Structure 1
Amino acid sequence: MDTIINRKSKKNKYLLLVIPAFLLLGYFVYSALTKKRSLTVEKGEITIKTVEKEYFEDFIVFQAKVEPLNSMLLNVIEGGAIQEIFVENGDLIEKGQPLARLYNPNTELSYVTQETSIIEQINNLSKAKLDLRNQELSMAKDLVAIDHDYQDAKNQYDLHEKLYNEEIISKNEWEKTQENFRFQKERKSIIQQTIQKEKQANQIQISQISQSQAIMYKSLGILRKNKNNFLVTAPLAGRLTSFEPVLGKNYNTGDNIGKIDVMKGYKLVAEVDEYYLPRISQNQKGRIEHKGSVIDVVVSKVIPEIIKGRFTVELNFMTDKELTLQQGLSFSVRLILSEKEKTLVLSKGRFYEDTSGKWIFVVNGNSAERRKIELGRENPLYYEVLGGLKKGEKVVTSGYTDYKDVEILNFEN
């Protein structure tokens, strides 16, 4: 009798081969994904610093230049072409000293025309005032004649009154004398009232004319003074700087052709990065070094206008001693932003450029492992450590350009 032999399934055989291979592949993939990426570096190529607890002083350092405490811009008052130059850049000048002369024929002609017109108007007003004076004089003469006629009539009235009472003259002649006296009396009264009113009206007109003349004389004075604006003079004494006018070159009204520095006192002027604008204010103190001595300075003005990422700060010297300084001299200013306080600090390094202070390599024996950190304030020497590091830990502070995707650094001596 035949025996039935069962044949192994090829399918089961394949499964026995595929499953171990799949598991092995999965192991390698898992290991590759979970294994921390490392890199071996020469220990001499990196910089290692220790996290310390030190007094942290929030300050910044920037360069500032010496400038005179007070200066005045020299602007062209009346536009024109430079005709003459009397001084040179850098000269010490006195108040009122001529510096340059400009010429503008069109403006000169306009001044002459305006001056002629004003003088003509003044003359017309003077004539009108003279006419009113003559009118008053004529009325005064008329009043004298009328008063003479009145006196004659009155004398005749007094005489005829006596003669009539003595019956020497007739009634008809007496009545004529009375009528003439009445007429001269009323005539004198009316003329006196008229002259008084005319005189009052004339006085008002003369006063108005005088006011108009005063305004015109003032305008004429300003006009003649403006003609002198072609001559640029020094408004105050000092040193002339940035003065570079060119003969024949045209300058418009308001154009700047130089600056006068008052040689009494100095200040420091600095251009500071806009990052520090919210942290700098008036009365903040700082210091500089000059000839081996430390000199205190104080912020006197903050100009918040940002130009090309920088704003302007002015500082005054806090000393009664007269300093021998030179305009343009540069000083390194250490400006204090907060008082000293003891805190955890980390020395500055190039690592910040690649990590923005969010992580760092912490040394552990012959390797360093990547760790998240939190940094706060900074000064030119230190970063303030807010979290992620402890006192005494060592960290790599050199550049991380080649280590951005690495989690462990292995050191090789």
Structure 2
Amino acid sequence: MDTPVQSTQHRLPYIMIIVIMVAIAIGYYLSRPATLRIDGNQLRVHTVEKNAFYEYINLDGRIEPATTYVIDSKIAGNVEQVYASSGQTVQRGDTLLRIGNADLELEVMQRESQLIEQLNAQRQTRLLLNQNDFNRREQLVEVNYQLALQTKQYNRDRGLLADGLIAMADYEPSANRYAYFQRRRELLTASLRADSTARERQLRQINSFEDRILTNLIAVRAILDRLYLRAAVDGRLSNFDVNTGQAITSGQRLGEIYGLENPNLTAEVDEYYLDKITAGQPGVIAGRNDSLKIEVTKIYPDVNGGRFRIDARFTNGAVSPGQFVKGQTLRFRLLFGEERASVLLASGPFYGDTGGHWVYRLAKDGADRIPIRLGRSNPNYYEVLEGLSPGDRVIVSTYDGFAEYDHITIN
């Protein structure tokens, strides 16, 4: 069965309605005024200028110490005296607190007493060796003296015997005493030589043993130094919250010391700039006449919540320790590119209405809408590439309510 075709005459009323509505819209558009009168007090106007320009972004950085020394207790005990407080500046070697531990002190005293006894025994042995060596040398001196006397007597009696003035019986006692002292000197000399060799070897052993005892004694006495917690470095004391009488354990974290001679500046940056920031990129601390300069030292590529982290350091000399504190926030400018002279337009809400493609430039009878092209930007200015010249006055406040007009009249 054939399908009936709807007649064109049935669609004609609908076509006429659409045509009428389009005609009404066109008529309204053509009949609206081409200009609008605006109260000048509602507008913010900026004069375009030519000046030095550099691209930068403002960031809030947090001061972090370059080095931090952790304070841990070396022994267990109770806090007897606290000598410092958190936030105080300390020097290397300053005493922070004293810990009481009676068991440790008693153990150190016992070990010290044992070592002193061993040291005294070694010194007594050295004394005996030296005394024996002295006695041997004294005996040798005496024998040499007696031998000298007997040598004179022996030579005299031998001459008398040769001349027949004395009998053999009178000569023999003198010869025997002479031979006795000669032999005695030989034996004492050999004995002294052997004793001296043994004595030197024993003294070396005694000296070595005494050195070990003294080293151990110093180490034992140093154990008591653990009762005194001292600053290992110069810096500022942080998180040091201890009270007298408080019980602490060995290895317990008691605080930290940080130095701020050349601190780090840590900041979070929008991920849009992840590929635009490089190590060594310069910056300046805002509000200090650009006297404090910084440079990026490290970029952390991990993005968290749409932001990533960078570290920077001061480049024009070390910062004095008292100039900043840990955790302090500093506003700084991170610079992009080189500074150069450019035509500048102040930033403002107009950019959100036009995307930087056009602006209202003031004329004699109001303001005209003109196309422009912008380049680099910073939080204060846009770099104008085309469309504006120095001296032009431009509305930089919002264009909400009149952005569709080519010309506006300003009261």
| Cα distance in 1, alignment partners of residues 173 and 271 from structure 2 | 108
**1:125, CA displacement in angstroms?**
0.5
Identity among equivalent pairs (%): 22
**1:230, CA displacement in angstroms?**
0.8
Report the counterpart of residue 328 of structure 1 in structure 2.
327
**1:195, CA displacement in angstroms?**
0.5
Report the counterpart of residue 157 of structure 1 in structure 2.
154
- Cα contact 2:261–2:318 (8 A) shared by 1: no
1:218 aligns with 2:215: yes
**1:126, CA displacement in angstroms?**
0.6
For structure 1, list consecutive stretches of 5 or more residues without a partner in the other structure: 1-15, 21-56, 341-379, 382-413
Report the counterpart of residue 183 of structure 1 in structure 2.
180
Q: 1:71/1:122 Cα in 2 relative to 1: closer, same or farther (>3 Å)?
A: same
**1:130, CA displacement in angstroms?**
0.7
Among candidates 80, 84, 102, match of residue 87 of structure 1: 84
**1:196, CA displacement in angstroms?**
2.4
**1:114, CA displacement in angstroms?**
1.6
RMSD: 4.4
| Cα distance in 2, alignment partners of residues 249 and 107 from structure 1 | 15
Report the counterpart of residue 99 of structure 1 in structure 2.
96
Q: What is the 5 A alignment of 1:71-82?
A: 71-82=68-79
**1:188, CA displacement in angstroms?**
0.6
| Cα distance in 1, alignment partners of residues 219 and 184 from structure 2 | 52
For structure 2, list consecutive stretches of 5 or more residues without a partner in the other structure: 4-53, 340-377, 380-411
Q: 1:294/1:87 Cα in 2 relative to 1: closer, same or farther (>3 Å)?
A: closer
* Deviation digits for residues 317-367 of structure 1 (CA, Å, limit 9, x no counterpart): 234596854431224666679999xxxxxxxxxxxxxxxxxxxxxxxxxxx
Among candidates 248, 251, 254, match of residue 249 of structure 2: 251
**1:85, CA displacement in angstroms?**
1.7
Q: What is the 5 A alignment of 1:111-150?
A: 111-150=108-147
1:203 aligns with 2:203: no
Q: 1:124/1:64 Cα in 2 relative to 1: closer, same or farther (>3 Å)?
A: same
**1:123, CA displacement in angstroms?**
0.5
Q: 1:307/1:96 Cα in 2 relative to 1: closer, same or farther (>3 Å)?
A: farther
TM-score (norm 2): 0.56
Report which stretch shifted further, 104-113 or 158-167.
104-113
Q: What is the 5 A alignment of 1:31-110?
A: 64-110=61-107
Report which stretch shifted further, 95-104 or 156-165.
95-104
| Cα distance in 2, alignment partners of residues 148 and 308 from structure 1 | 103
| Cα distance in 1, alignment partners of residues 194 and 302 from structure 2 | 67
SS at match of 2:286: strand
SS at match of 2:164: coil
Aligned residues: 289
| Cα distance in 1, alignment partners of residues 332 and 239 from structure 2 | 26
Report which stretch shifted further, 166-175 or 311-320.
311-320
**1:178, CA displacement in angstroms?**
3.2
| Cα distance in 1, alignment partners of residues 103 and 308 from structure 2 | 43
| Cα distance in 2, alignment partners of residues 128 and 68 from structure 1 | 57
- Cα contact 2:260–2:319 (8 A) shared by 1: no
Q: 1:271/1:124 Cα in 2 relative to 1: closer, same or farther (>3 Å)?
A: farther
Which amino acid letter does the alignment assign opposite residue 265 of structure 2? L
| Cα distance in 2, alignment partners of residues 116 and 279 from structure 1 | 69
TM-score (norm 1): 0.56
| Cα distance in 2, alignment partners of residues 295 and 230 from structure 1 | 43
| Cα distance in 2, alignment partners of residues 306 and 77 from structure 1 | 40
| Cα distance in 2, alignment partners of residues 306 and 130 from structure 1 | 76
